[in-house]
Amino acid sequence: MPYFDAASAAPLHPVARQALLAALDEGWADPARLYREGRRARLLLDAAREAAAEAVGCRPDELTFTSSGTRAVHSGISGALAGRRRVGRHLVVSAVEHSSVLHAASDHEDRGGSVARVPVDRTGAVSPRVFGEALREDTALACLQSASHEVGTEQPVAEVAGICRSAGVPLLVDAAQSLAWGPVPEGWSLLAGSAHKWGGPAGVGLLAVRKGVRFAPQGPADERESGRAPGFENLPAIVAAAASLRAVRAEADADAVRLRALVDRIRTRVPELVPDVEVVGDPERRLPHLVTFSCLYVDGETLLHELDRAGFSVSSGSSCTSSTLTPSHVLKAMGVLSEGNVRVSLPRGTTDEDVDGFLAVLPGLVAGVREKLEASAPAAPSPSPSPAPDDSLVLDTLGKRCPIPVIELAKVIGGVPVGGTVTVLSDDEAARLDIPAWCAMREQEYVGEEPADRGAAHVVRRLS
Amino acid sequence: MPYFDAASAAPLHPVARQALLAALDEGWADPARLYREGRRARLLLDAAREAAAEAVGCRPDELTFTSSGTRAVHSGISGALAGRRRVGRHLVVSAVEHSSVLHAASDHEDRGGSVARVPVDRTGAVSPRVFGEALREDTALACLQSASHEVGTEQPVAEVAGICRSAGVPLLVDAAQSLAWGPVPEGWSLLAGSAHKWGGPAGVGLLAVRKGVRFAPQGPADERESGRAPGFENLPAIVAAAASLRAVRAEADADAVRLRALVDRIRTRVPELVPDVEVVGDPERRLPHLVTFSCLYVDGETLLHELDRAGFSVSSGSSCTSSTLTPSHVLKAMGVLSEGNVRVSLPRGTTDEDVDGFLAVLPGLVAGVREKLEASAPAAPSPSPSPAPDDSLVLDTLGKRCPIPVIELAKVIGGVPVGGTVTVLSDDEAARLDIPAWCAMREQEYVGEEPADRGAAHVVRRLS
């Protein structure tokens, strides 16, 4: 039963399991104590720190273990912002950061700070120039992921780091998705990672802060982990995290070649096998194991459910799979289709057969979902009795959720002459993203969005 | 090799180990995902929450898992204070709370809040009346431990909870030390615990917040654990924590009887075997497995080192064992001797032989430490050529650390007549506690402390 959601959580690496078991016996005591059990725990903690620091590319005393990647990000951002409070309270982040970064940024705004969110291109990458333009005199910190957890696109970290260095602004790199594949390019000031993303156990993150970076931990004082991660160390898990990071790194090059070939197969074959699909993310500068695509006229939640029934575990950035019914902020920032979105992220052991099996079932499942939606959607509605001229048509989809507005748009567009317009009334957040994306895919013109009493009015001109 | 520091970290319970291993295979995926691996993880998480809530005595939806007991305390205090911000910013804590509570209180003060620290009696217990008197119109929260981690004294939680309820003030109970032994008495509003204190793994704390208690989580938003504990759930460890809490509870009554008898033996025998010892903490209302005593004229760090060499792992609240060279805040608040302090906390498997072995080596080790200190301390100094009258003497111990000032005091007291005084000049923080404690133990009069150019001048009157 292939599990294709390594970007959410990788199955435990065998080395992590072995190390965890060994450390349960040797590493349960308090490493701050001076008796033998404490000294043994301290030795394990020190060795784990050495190993993780080497993998990260920093000194052991620059690295602290946190209770999760999210905590590493939260503590890294709040500590760096507080450490440079005198410089100012401006924070720069990319628009496609992990939610932990964006939530920390919102929290900073709630406390009176200001935040610039740097836009990305259609591949999901920031432009170093645009990122640099967001830096100000009062910028205390900049944050950029090493690679996108949703679409796999690698960011130009080295270039952005150089620009930040010139501007005297520390750069925090969220390396959660890429640490398994190699060290982050030089130039970062702070770095965050998460063990369960590389095959380590849950409950361990890491935060590296370069010597010389001003850093003031926030919240109640605590003597553990240099005052940067309060609470008793999650020691056996830390040992397992460090051991598995070494192990996955040793295998990274070989695994990357294999998985990149499998991902290439998905990138190539899915658009051939499934009509009306958009594969998103940079085709070259990307993580080796991750690919994301979106399917027009498909309800993402239903597709995920069907894939699960067929034995494939994937995730999605479609609005219908989110508790807030908004599409993924990453797809939104990229301006790409969000409906029928599927993220495939392959764990290390994925075989050719797994991927072939996926490619074998996907077309039928997508077709099935489309058929059901087509059947349940009303027949091409007759044009509203609106006072609009003949070559335009108003389509009322208020109250209908993704992908229905786009399905209905596709049905009615033939009802206006080439050059005519369809105005789609919609209060669905996903329509704002998916109607323009549909236009780009179907070579129609997205004229723009107009205000409406409820929701928005999306104007589409028929070109073909 | 007996380990006698269960209050710092209990060795992993066999049930915790089994549950952890099972959950590593079943519970590594993201419980927020809807595919089968995610659903399996969710089932494990839900079952763990049910089990832990039953043990705590709350509803499952009132309980969240945090990454440590410290985090549970920090989040509980900050969330409750923010939730009742409109009432005021006054916080009441006992003076003997765990450092995580006291650090959270200091952090609250740093942010402009006010804190009352309720004193304790010589057994380490608060008086419900005195605690109640600390509550004010603007008190947002009160905190009281269920039992002391340092001296084992149980607090009058039920009485204090009743008083808090009458005053409309929520009570947070830090139950880290007592959860293994039974549920906390009714009446708490928030409750914090720590798995590695009950034989569960590191990396898991729990925070229960009663329905109806105003609570506003602080810091960046996060959808996990009801927004109260950001970061990917430490799932296999959570499963192990809940399973081991059930297991230790099932064995608690029998274990308590056995360990209480062993602790009683230590409480009785140590003062018989070792001269000049003070056993501290309430003799009756106490945790079953924990006893603390202090030895006059002994350097705690050396004694711990000697005990470790003899195979016994214990901890100490002496100033020489603290990085800040201050005695334990708990012993200080109790006003009891801190020098030569030893805390013995027995894990479940402790045998009669372990305790007998400890009682067999302790007297010789204490005598050895005393002998070495005696030898290294200067001979009884001749009275300073001070202009003071004959029946008084000034003893300059400036620059000397615990237990030297007390050792020198004991040496010179015979040099003044009964009714005369010795004035001890000392800049050692521990002397402030230990000189009065010495006077009480040796039936001399502690007249008081006078200001001095450096440190303080402690005036002692010879009574016998």
Instruction: Output the DSSP codes for A140-167.
Output: EEEEEESB-TTT-BBP-HHHHHHHHHHH
CB A372, CB A341: distance < 8 Å = no
SS3 B295: strand
**Distance between CA A333 and CA A329 in Å, rounded?**
6
Which of A232, A235, A324 to probe by mutation at the B interface, max B CB count within 10 Å? A232
Q: What letter does residue A231 receive in the DSSP assignment?
A: S
List the beta bridge partners of residue B144: B173
List the beta bridge partners of residue A448: A459
> Cβ separation of B5 and A304 shorter than 8 Å?
no
Average pLDDT in the A73-95 region? 98
**Distance between CA B128 and CA B120 in Å, rounded?**
10
CA distances from A290 to A69, B282, B307 (A): 19, 61, 55
Number of C-beta neighbours around residue B284 at 10 A: 7
Distance from the A102 Cα atom to the nearest Cα atom in chain B, whole angstroms: 9
Question: DSSP string spanning B173-229?
Answer: EE-TTTGGG-PPPTT-SEEEEEGGGTT--TT-EEEEE-TTS-----SS---SGGGTS
List the beta bridge partners of residue B277: B295
**Span between the terminal Cα atoms of chain B, in Å:** 44
Confidence check: pLDDT of B26 > 80: yes
Number of C-beta neighbours around residue A69 at 10 A: 27
Q: Which long-range contacts (CB under 8 A, 24 or more apart) does A359-363 make?
A: A359/A265, A359/A266, A359/A269, A359/A270, A359/A273, A361/A307, A361/A310, A361/A312, A362/A270, A362/A273, A362/A274, A362/A307, A363/A273, A363/A274
| pLDDT at position A211 | 97
CATH 3.40.47.10 corresponds to the domain B14-248: no
Task: Read off φ and ψ for residue B334, nearest 5 degrees.
Answer: -80, -20
Distance from the B30 Cα atom to the nearest Cα atom in chain A, whole angstroms: 6
Q: How buried is B54 (Cβ within 10 angstroms: 0-12 exposed, 13-18 middle, 19+ buried)? A: middle
Distance from the A2 Cα atom to the nearest Cα atom in chain B, whole angstroms: 10
Structure tokens at A219: 């919240």
**Distance between CA B2 and CA A460 in Å, rounded?**
78
> Cβ separation of B232 and A69 shorter than 8 Å?
yes
> Cβ separation of A35 and B67 shorter than 8 Å?
no
Average pLDDT in the A94-110 region? 97
Q: What is the pLDDT of residues B349-369, one digit of tens each?
A: 999 999 999 999 999 999 999
> Cβ separation of A103 and B38 shorter than 8 Å?
no
CB B304, CB B260: distance < 8 Å = no
> Cβ separation of B202 and A28 shorter than 8 Å?
yes
Question: Residue B199: closest CA among chain A residues belongs to which residue?
Answer: A28
The edge-to-edge listing of strands for the beta sheet with B290-295 is B277-280, B290-295, B341-345
Q: What is the pLDDT of residues B408-451, one digit of tens each?
A: 999 999 999 999 999 999 999 999 999 999 999 999 999 999 99
Chain A residue numbers with beta carbons less than 8 Å from the beta carbon of B5 are 29-30, 33, 35, 37
Question: Residue B314: closest CA among chain A residues belongs to which residue?
Answer: A35
| pLDDT at position A378 | 67
**Distance between CA B69 and CA B206 in Å, rounded?**
7
Structure tokens at B313: 């792992």
CB B457, CB B395: distance < 8 Å = no
> Cβ separation of B29 and A5 shorter than 8 Å?
yes
Closest to B294 measured CA to CA, from B150, B116, B453: B150
Q: What is the pLDDT of residues B227-241, one digit of tens each?
A: 999 999 999 999 999
Contacts of B247 (CB under 8 A, 6+ apart): B13, B15, B16, B199
**pLDDT band (50, 70, 90) for residue B388:** low
**pLDDT band (50, 70, 90) for residue B378:** low
Confidence check: pLDDT of A321 > 90: no
Question: DSSP string spanning B356-422?
Answer: HHHHHHHHHHHHHHHHHHHHHSPP-PPPP--SS-TTEEEEE-TT--TTHHHHHHHHHGGGS-TT-EE
**pLDDT band (50, 70, 90) for residue B3:** very high
Structure tokens at B388: 């003071």
Q: What is the pLDDT of residues A188-210, one digit of tens each?
A: 999 999 999 999 999 999 999 99
Structure tokens at A31: 């490493």
Share of chain B above pLDDT 70, in %: 97
| pLDDT at position B404 | 93
| pLDDT at position A382 | 56
Host H or E run for residue A290: strand A290-295
Q: Among A171-185, A309-323, B316-330, which range has the highest average pLDDT?
A: A171-185
| pLDDT at position B322 | 81
**Distance between CA A167 and CA A160 in Å, rounded?**
11
**Distance between CA B81 and CA A230 in Å, rounded?**
19
Which of B3, B28, B207 to probe by mutation at the A interface, max A CB count within 10 Å? B28
Average pLDDT in the B327-331 region? 95
Which residue ranges make up each domain of chain A?
A: 14-248, 251-376, 392-461
Which of B35, B85, B110, B223 to probe by mutation at the A interface, max A CB count within 10 Å? B35
- CATH top-level class for A392-461? alpha beta
Distance from the B109 Cα atom to the nearest Cα atom in chain A, whole angstroms: 10
Confidence check: pLDDT of B102 > 70: yes
> Cβ separation of A70 and B314 shorter than 8 Å?
no
| pLDDT at position A96 | 97
Of B30, B196, B308, the CB nearest to A35: B308
Write the single-letter amino acid at B327: P
Confidence check: pLDDT of A75 > 80: yes
Number of C-beta neighbours around residue B119 at 10 A: 15
Question: Residue A312: closest CA among chain B residues belongs to which residue?
Answer: B35
| pLDDT at position A325 | 81
Write the single-letter amino acid at B41: A
Of B28, B196, B223, the CB nearest to A12: B28
SS3 B326: coil
Structure tokens at B375: 């030898």
**Distance between CA B24 and CA A19 in Å, rounded?**
13
Say yes or no: do domains B251-376 and B392-461 share a fold. Answer: no
| pLDDT at position A388 | 56
Q: What is the pLDDT of residues A110-167, one digit of tens each?
A: 999 999 999 999 999 999 999 999 999 999 999 999 999 999 999 999 999 999 999 9
Distance from the B345 Cα atom to the nearest Cα atom in chain A, whole angstroms: 13
**Distance between CA B327 and CA B319 in Å, rounded?**
4
Share of chain A above pLDDT 90, in %: 92
Mean pLDDT of all residues in chain A? 95
Q: How buried is A382 (Cβ within 10 angstroms: 0-12 exposed, 13-18 middle, 19+ buried)? A: exposed
**Distance between CA A203 and CA A256 in Å, rounded?**
26
**pLDDT band (50, 70, 90) for residue A20:** very high
**Distance between CA B452 and CA B426 in Å, rounded?**
9
**Distance between CA A76 and CA A207 in Å, rounded?**
7
Query: What's the ipTM?
Result: 0.94
Residues of B tagged active-site: 320
> Cβ separation of B74 and A230 shorter than 8 Å?
yes
| pLDDT at position A389 | 57
Pairs across A and B, CB distance < 8 A: 192
| pLDDT at position A374 | 84
**Distance between CA B332 and CA B336 in Å, rounded?**
7
Of A3, A30, A308, the CB nearest to B9: A30
Of B100, B232, B236, the CB nearest to A70: B232
Name the catalytic one among A164, A320, A402, A439: A320
Confidence check: pLDDT of B317 > 80: yes
Average pLDDT in the A9-24 region? 95
- CATH code of A251-376, in short, is 3.90.1150.10
SS3 B287: coil
Question: DSSP string spanning A53-82?
Answer: HHHHTS-GGGEEEESSHHHHHHHHHHHHHH
- Mean pLDDT lowest for which of A385-389, A450-454, B69-73, B371-375? A385-389
What is the number of residues in chain A? 464
Structure tokens at A462: 């028929």
Distance from the A428 Cα atom to the nearest Cα atom in chain B, whole angstroms: 22
Chain A residue numbers with beta carbons less than 8 Å from the beta carbon of B21 are 21
Task: Read off φ and ψ for residue A34, nearest 5 degrees.
Answer: -95, -10
